[in-house]
A and B are shown apart, each in its own frame.
Chain A
Amino acid sequence: EVQLVESGGGIVQPGGSLRLSCAASGFTFSSYWMHWVRQAPGEGLVWVSRIHSDGSSTKYADSVKGRFTISRDNAKNTLYLQMSSLRAEDTAVYYCARDYRGELDPWGQGTLVIVSS
């Protein structure tokens, strides 16, 4: 079964850091581009970042550029999102998703990040 499982969410103070992980199974992880998408409480979906299958290329939303870093370890079948200088507006459920020609499927179950003092 193709599956993505996020972890690493929690409560962090403004200005703090957190690293999210997304463990992939059931498919050849190293063959796919991967994305992070977030959703603030009660709000819509917002695309955050994308990484090439071999990690050679990355893209970011302007709102996180310079603060978040997407990376992957293909040997461990794991995607990461390193988040720093966190702000209250980064509070959201963060989803990872597999990309096949623009189609995001599947998605993980999400991990909640709360930025609060």
Chain B
Amino acid sequence: DIQMTQSPSSLSASVGDRVTITCRASQGIRNDLGWYQQKPGKAPKRLIYAASSFQSGVPSRFSGSGSGTDFTLTISSLQPEDFATYYCLQYDSYPWTFGQGTKVEIK
């Protein structure tokens, strides 16, 4: 199985800060990676797919990059509604695997 190592597990940041979350795959997964946002008591919502692509409706402050084994989710200017837990998901091979999550908290 492919292991996804996400870091940090949590971070504290202020509104307006630039935030970066990383995900490392235990083997190459091309660009078969998505990023999801989950708020307490709610279902996850997809932010990014194919490592760097996003559908309409996702704010442009969210961006993704990477290929192979190393991936990054960046929030360019953190907004109050962005405080949540973020997960990466590899879908290159079964079983699909999630990172352990990064909780973004208010500083």
Where the two chains meet, the residues of A that have a C-beta atom closer than 8 Å to any C-beta of B are: 35, 37, 44-47, 50, 59-62, 95, 101-110
Contact = CB atoms under 8 A, between A and B. Distances in A.
Interface stretch (B14-22, B63-71, B76-84, B97-105): B97-105
A9 to B, nearest CB: 14
Interface string B49-91: 1100001000000000000000000000000000000010101
Given A44-B101, A47-B96, A59-B95, A104 B34 contact: yes
B94 A95 contact: no
26 contacts: A35-B96, A37-B44, A44-B99, A44-B100, A44-B101, A45-B38, A45-B89, A45-B101, A47-B95, A47-B96, A47-B97, A50-B94, A95-B43, A101-B49, A102-B49, A102-B91, A103-B46, A103-B49, A104-B36, A104-B44, A105-B45, A105-B46, A105-B55, A107-B45, A109-B43, A110-B43
Contacts of A45: 36, 38, 44, 87, 89, 98, 101
B1, B34, B36, B95: most-surrounded residue (chain A CB, <10 A): B95
Interface of B: 1, 32, 34, 36, 38, 43-46, 49-50, 55, 87, 89, 91, 94-101
Given A44-B87, A45-B36, A45-B87, A104 B95 contact: no
Given A44-B100, A45-B36, A103-B34, A59 B94 contact: yes
- Tell me what chain A mostly uses at the interface: helix, strand, loop, or mixed: strand
Given A44-B98, A102-B34, A107-B43, 17 more contacts: A44-B100, A45-B36, A45-B44, A45-B98, A47-B96, A59-B95, A60-B95, A62-B95, A95-B43, A95-B44, A102-B50, A102-B91, A103-B49, A103-B55, A107-B44, A107-B45, A110-B43
B86 to A, nearest CB: 11
B58 to A, nearest CB: 10
